[in-house]
Each structure stands twice: as structure tokens, then as C-alpha cells.
Structure 1
Amino acid sequence: MPTEVPAPPEPAVAPRPRRRGRTALLIAAAVVLGLVAGTCTGYLVQADREPTRLPPLSQPVVDQAEGEVEPLSAAEDRRLRTDGDLRKLLLKRPQGARDAEFELGTDGWLNLADYARTYEEPGEVIGNLIGDEFRRAAVASWRVGSTHSVAIHLTQYRQEQTLAASANSEGAHYWAEESDTRSWPIPGTGDGMAYVHDTPEREAGYLPLYSAEAHAWRGDIAMNIWVYDTKPIPKKKIMDLAERQMGRL
């Protein structure tokens, strides 16, 4: 006897916008009536008063400061730094570190296609990056010993239509907040966060892979850091990288 297959559940219907209630309409009407009544009363009171003498139109002239405003120095003008060679703002490779096992981009740069390939769905991401006004991305990566590796991305947006740098950071926070993950705010960044994942990724034939990451933004630049190792990664390691990298932006 064939087993009866249950009918599929009906698709959820998006809730309709709530109608404006009768109470709200009454309040709006009362406000309008109050404004009209107050205006009429004001005219009546003013009509019974003696005319108020107006102050003279001429006002004292304020002396202008002499000389020109001194321009910001290169160290003070953040725009001058971030519009230059973005790779120079990346953390330097520590002494004794080697090239990463898999180098990304070309000569420290990630073009649009290379950057999209760092995501699981590159075809979909390319369209999003174009909409987000992707400008350029710089990358630094290195390996210490045989198991410890670091990758840092600085992604810059034009931000003529949207604040994409903060949106980049917000999306990264969403995906980083998994179970068995500890997190801490990055000082001086507003909503920047660092994460340590305590449960490693496991795959047959390979050592367990632990990871930590940090995400923040400043101005038109989003910062993303990833650290991988076959042993647990301490909070101090990811926080140190995040604070020093943000200090360069």
C-alpha cells in the first residue's frame, strides 16, 4: 500500500504593511486644528499691541583673519595617504616569514575578478562589487613555520552612492559569529571586532585547522584579517594584528 505523501507546506506570505489607525488620524487632525487656533490667537494678541521698533539693518563688520590657512601635513592628511599606494598601508611581513603557500593577486593587488574569487560564489559577488563601487584591493600574506599563515585585505570603495566599507565589515561580522566562537571589540574602531574560532575544521588526511579573523573599517577602506594554524590561535595574536593594521589607516 503506497505511503501517503504529506502536502508541502504553503509558502509563507510576507506580512502586509500595517494600516494607519483611526487614533493616529484623530491625533493628526487635532494637531492641525491646534496650529490653526494658535495662529488666529496670535494675530488677535498682536493687533492689540503697540508696534515694536525694529533694530537697525546695519551690523558691525567682523574683521577677517590675515594670511592663509596652513595645509595639513602628509602625516595629518589621511586622504593623501589612502589615495596613494594602498599596499604601503598594509602591515609589513614579520622577519623570518615566508611567502604564503597560495599567493593571491598580482604584486600585492587584487583586481575585481581576483577579489571575487575569494568568495564561494564569485559570479554573484562580481555584480555586488560593481554595485558597491569597488575601487581596488591590496593584499598581504605570509607564512611562519610550516603551519601558521596570515592574510590581510584592504578593500577601498569609491562611496559616491553607498557606504560600502561599513557594509563590508557588517557582512563579515555576520558570517564570523558562529557557534564556539569568542569575540572582542577592536579598540578605536567603533564596531570593529576580532574573532577566535575554538573548533577546528577537520578533513580526512589533513591536520585540524584552527582560525581567527578580524574585521573593521575606516573611511572608505574595509580591513579583513584571517589567521590559520594547526593549533589554537590565542586572542593576543589576532588582536595585535588588528590593532596595528588599523593604526596604519
Structure 2
Amino acid sequence: MLEISELCVDVAGKPVLSDISLTLQPGELHVLLGPNGSGKSSLLAAIMGLPPYRVTGGSIRVDGVPVNDLSLRERAALGIGMAFQRPPSLDGVTVSAFAGAMGAGATLAREAAALDLSAFVARDMNVGFSGGEIKRWEILKLFLQDPRLMLFDEPESGVDLEHVIAIGQAIGRITRTPDGQGRPRAGLVITHTGLILNHVEADRAHILKGGRIIHSGDPRAIFAHIQTHGYTVPETA
């Protein structure tokens, strides 16, 4: 579903990613771990087509379609969706109105209840929301958008333990269920703490450091290595 080959990205002429290669099959959930400033969010932004990130080499394909030259709107129409780490607040736009504009008002109540957000549907989007409430709303937004390829930017940061569990369960549920057209989905989660791994069943993990993927493998084995040895390549790799 997602094929990244030798991807290089810069911002204002400064390289932030170099020679990134990654393949995500339909139905899979991958986790990208790395220290702050390693390029994790930059990779998601490059896939989504967000400025000011500029692809300077390599390619990104979604379902075999090259997306390097597509606009953000065209990528969204192709089925790419993103749960942002720091989304904007929208005064005057309620959660329910936003869902209705997407044609997803009928599913709002059910999915909001699953993420303990039923009391928020009449409120303006992200206005006065806590950090954890914003993260849960971003996951709910993806349920409503119904994308095929889902990008999660540090979904557990700033979230209390109870709701980290709910977010992990929601990520697993949306990744493993078909989209509205019956097609399999796939997801890529980036995390700094790795705690989300306690609540999702990831298929593969990657360590990103200094703008490069330095190791890929079993998610739990990699997380255990990081907890003891930091963001280094395991000796058995």
C-alpha cells in the first residue's frame, strides 16, 4: 500500500531525511521510533504533502500511484489520512458540524462513545481541549474520514494512561477493519516514548535516527532494546 524508496527530504534547503526506504503492505501496522528531532514527523509530513517539506530525491507510492507531485488535497482523495500531533483549533466549527460536512454524522455518536468523547460533539473543534482530548479527537477524525493509509503522529504523547489504552485499541480497530469500500487499510504510527506498543499489535518497527532508518524488525524486541540501550542498532541485527 505504501512504498517509499530512497526518499530524501529537506526544509528550507536543509536535509532532514536521507535514503528512507519502507514498504507497508495492506492490513499492516508499522511503528516508527526515534529520538526527538530524528525526522519522524518530517516523514509523515512528506507522505501527506505538507509544506514546507520538499522531496529532493526518491519516490513515494500509494497503491502503486506516485504521489511526489500530488497536492495535499489529491493525496487525501487518494485515501491518505493523518492524525496530527498539534492540530489547529477551529472557533465556530463544532465537532458535529465537521462530521456532518464529511457526511459522517451517522457514525459520530458510536465512535465518539468508544473514545470517551460523547460530551465533546457540540463543542468547537479543539477549542479548550486538553492535550489528551485533542489526540483522541484526531483518532476519531480518522474514523470519520475513512482513509486507507493512516498516519499517526505521536498519538500517545500528553495522554493519560487510561486513554492511551483507548487510543491504542482504536488504532488497532481502525487498522484491522476494511474501509467503507471493503478494502484493507494500513497504518504508520510514530512514537517517541514507545508506550503505544503496549496497546497495539504492530507488525513491524523501524528505528529512525539522524534522518535515516538504522534498523527494522520485531516491534517488541526493538522496543525492549531501546529501553536498555537507547536508539542503537541491536548487536544481533
Both structures adopt the same fold (TM-score exceeding 0.5): no
Structure (1/2) with the larger strand percentage: 2
Higher relative contact order (CA 8 A, sep 6+): 2
Task: Tell me which structure has the larger Cα radius of gyration.
Answer: 1
Using structure 1 for the length normalisation, give the TM-score: 0.29
Structure (1/2) with the larger helix percentage: 2
